[in-house]
Structure 1
Amino acid sequence: MNSARPVPEEAVMDKPHGVLDRHFQRAQVRRVDSARPFVWLRRGWADMRDNLAASLSYGLLFAAAGSFILGYATGLPHLFTAAISGFFLVGPVAAAGLYEISRRHDNGEPASFIDSLRGLSTHADHLLYFGAFLAFVLLGWERLSAILFASFYPEDASGLGSFFLDVFLTGASASFVVWYLVIGGAIAALVFALSAVSVPMLMDRDTDVVTAMVASARAVGINFGPMALWALIIVVLITIGFATMAGMILLLPLLGHASWHAYKDLVE
């Protein structure tokens, strides 16, 4: 596996031109090889190992949030599925502190939990704007989820046991599963494209939210194969984290640090 940093390709670099570009210069994007996500994981693990106390502090916060979500939504399948899937949507902003730890670590600066919080405060405006966007998407997805339950799952959905029995064992709600996955998957893909590298970019440089989102979408489009693999890795690891809860303490910080290195590889 080649772990050298990808070399920028002229074909995927944007040259500033015109009045508009003087205000909104698009970031230059690199093309990476298909196995690059595994390099990001390895580098993320190194960051977590070198900043273990700070990283695990965020892991504990994620695990507490996950436990609250599961406890609150248990017995309410509509809220349960929306909350679990919504966790994927807000993850990029939730991991901002981990990006700050990796940024400081790369620059040889102190990277304690308190230091990362100070770093977050310096980017509070941009994070607030991006967080508001994700919150709007999350609320919209919760409403869509309610509509899908009402339209395609008219059975008694008062408990998770009966819900999972119907969905995964009896096959009685196949149309519900198909529509839920199609619509939810489309929303998740859009959010992933716009957020894959945008929050680390906002933490790293003086730029605006729209420019960061455009850069993220271009990075995903130019590197569709590697980023599809990266999205799959994120889904699998977060699912394992929710299934084990204790695993979330390790796996979510790992993904946060690895996402920082994804950004550093993808955006010039």
Structure 2
Amino acid sequence: MRPIQNFRQAGASLPTIRQISWKRPFFWLQSGWRDLQANPLPSLAYGTLFALAGDLILLSIIRHPHLVSVAISGFFLVAPLLAAGLYELSRRTARGEKIMFIDSLRCFRRSGQSLAFFGLFLGLTAILWERFSAVAFALLGASSDLDSGAFLKEVVLSGEHGAFVVVWFALGALLALVVFALAVVAVPMMLDRDSDIVTAMMTSLDACIANAGPLLLWAALIVTLTLTGFATLLFGLILIMPILGHASWHAYRELVE
């Protein structure tokens, strides 16, 4: 709470955050499904891009299995930025407009500077986590040349490094949670109000503090559905990610006055 208080004391004003019930994330998913039905082709095009990004992640895990936490966390880190086009589709749909995939890309030009700074923040976060993991596994003595089977047997399933593996995954989850708190409404707010990155991220953090329970549920739904998409050999991501992207726009509209 103190960073937000300091931010306001510095003379900056943040939008008012609404209080919501824990049931609202399920309604956001329903709204996301309706937006996908209203924009099937552009929405599924974005879903295909997410699936291709998932392919790259799986390839990186196969060749460097010690980076599994980095790769999965990285996917969740960059997803809010990749979903900007989906937010634009939902924004224009709410205004009664019908646009194509190419039209949705214009949001990156309209809010390009803020989105670029946010992308830089996400990229630096992912790089720092990758470097931390690389150093941690080097200290552990695990070779980065291990294939997936050998990595699982030597590091994850051997029982010799159980505490390390648990802490490693926990830190990855904590990092993703912190980024979620700073990003849950940040990108939609940049697109909708042309907000600067600091105001958008502080508003996002404020929303998470005011609605911790519902937004933790929302985070859990995002993780569960995304991992379900990975479990379907990425085909599920083509449908799941557009629904989550559109739903995230409705989350922003409901949380921020």
Q: TM-score under structure 2 normalisation? A: 0.91
User: Which residue matches 1:239?
Assistant: 227
Query: Aligned in 2, Cα 1:79/1:168: closer, same or farther, shift over 3 Å?
Result: closer
Distance apart, 1:130 and its partner CA: 0.5
Deviations 1:188-246 (A, max 9, x none): 12111100110001010132110000000010011000011111111111111122210
User: Which residue matches 2:211?
Assistant: 223
Q: In the alignment, is the contact (CA less than 8 A) between 1:148 and 1:176 conserved in 2?
A: no
**Is structure 2 residue 223 aligned with structure 1 residue 260?**
no
**Is structure 2 residue 49 aligned with structure 1 residue 45?**
no
Any gaps of 5 or more consecutive residues in structure 1? 1-13
Any gaps of 5 or more consecutive residues in structure 2? none
User: Which residue matches 2:201?
Assistant: 213
Distance 2:68 2:141 in 1: 15
User: Which residue matches 1:125?
Assistant: 113
Distance apart, 1:107 and its partner CA: 1.0
Q: In the alignment, is the contact (CA less than 8 A) between 1:197 and 1:259 conserved in 2?
A: yes
Q: In the alignment, is the contact (CA less than 8 A) between 1:47 and 1:257 conserved in 2?
A: yes
Question: What is the DSSP-based 3-state SS (H/G/I as helix, E as strand, rest coil) of the residue aligned with 1:43?
Answer: helix
**Is structure 2 residue 188 aligned with structure 1 residue 195?**
no
Q: In the alignment, is the contact (CA less than 8 A) between 1:152 and 1:175 conserved in 2?
A: no
Query: Aligned in 2, Cα 1:27/1:223: closer, same or farther, shift over 3 Å?
Result: same
Q: In the alignment, is the contact (CA less than 8 A) between 2:186 and 2:203 conserved in 1?
A: yes
Query: Aligned in 2, Cα 1:99/1:150: closer, same or farther, shift over 3 Å?
Result: same
Distance 2:170 2:60 in 1: 26
The count of corresponding residues between Structure 1 and Structure 2 is: 250
User: Which residue matches 2:142?
Assistant: 154
Distance apart, 1:127 and its partner CA: 0.5
**One-letter amino acid of the counterpart of residue 175, structure 1:** A
Q: In the alignment, is the contact (CA less than 8 A) between 1:194 and 1:216 conserved in 2?
A: yes
CA RMSD, 1 decimal: 1.9
Distance 2:171 2:139 in 1: 14
Question: What is the DSSP-based 3-state SS (H/G/I as helix, E as strand, rest coil) of the residue aligned with 1:247?
Answer: helix
Deviations 1:3-37 (A, max 9, x none): xxxxxxxxxxx9xx88x53xx32111011001111
Deviations 1:104-159 (A, max 9, x none): 10111223211101222111111101000100101001011112222346378601
Distance 1:169 1:157 in 2: 18
Distance 1:114 1:44 in 2: 20
**One-letter amino acid of the counterpart of residue 226, structure 1:** P
Q: Which aligned pairs between 1:78-117 and structure 2 lie closer than 5 A?
A: 78-117=66-105
Q: In the alignment, is the contact (CA less than 8 A) between 2:60 and 2:71 conserved in 1?
A: no
Question: What is the DSSP-based 3-state SS (H/G/I as helix, E as strand, rest coil) of the residue aligned with 2:235?
Answer: coil
**One-letter amino acid of the counterpart of residue 117, structure 1:** L
Query: Aligned in 2, Cα 1:166/1:232: closer, same or farther, shift over 3 Å?
Result: farther
Distance apart, 1:78 and its partner CA: 2.3
Match of 1:139 among 98, 117, 127: 127
Distance 1:28 1:167 in 2: 47
Distance apart, 1:182 and its partner CA: 2.7
Q: In the alignment, is the contact (CA less than 8 A) between 2:69 and 2:169 conserved in 1?
A: no
**One-letter amino acid of the counterpart of residue 172, structure 1:** E
Q: TM-score under structure 1 normalisation? A: 0.87
Query: Aligned in 2, Cα 1:156/1:207: closer, same or farther, shift over 3 Å?
Result: closer
